[in-house]
Amino acid sequence: MQIASHRLQVATRGKGLYEITAQIAAWLESAGVRAGLLTVFVPHTSASLTIQENADPDVVHDLNTFFNRLVPEDNRLYRHTMEGPDDMPAHIRAALTLTQLSIPVEHGRLALGTWQGVYLFEHRSTPHRRGVLLHLIGEP
């Protein structure tokens, strides 16, 4: 049994989905695990993770549009507003999505579907530098 971990740094330009599949796959290849389970975790309360279609950019656009409608930036709706109008909506969006993903590893590769990609979902309006922790357990 082999265990490995790594921390990615993802620079965001504000709200939106940022695909990180290639960075994860590159690290996974260097880890030398052929079969196992990869945990991807984002230790933030205003960002999250998702696995989504990465073939058609309209999917990312529509997800962003939907979340903007679902959780509007309107200080009249929230008590927690000290960090700006995007703060509480960012926490709500993170609560509605995931902070952790589990992805099987087969033949040394992420066992994702043909059109699937891993995304960091930034919920704040301003640029941030987000850490994403990768934790791998498996067999060489």
pLDDT of 6-30, one tens digit each? 999 999 999 999 999 999 999 999 9
* Confidence (pTM): 0.95
Residues 5, 14, 12, 61, Cα dihedral to 10°: 90
Which CATH homologous superfamily contains domain 2-139?
A: YjbQ-like (2.60.120.460)
What number is the average pLDDT over the span 28-48? Answer: 97
Cβ contacts of 93 within 8 Å, gap of 6 or more: 46, 48, 67, 71, 121, 123
| 16-19 vs 116-122, strand pairing mode | antiparallel
Residue linked to tokens 């939106």: 16
Task: Break the chain into its structural domains and give their ranges.
Answer: 2-139
pLDDT of the residue at 24: 98
Neighbours of 95 (CB within 10 A): 12
Q: What is the mean pLDDT of the chain?
A: 97
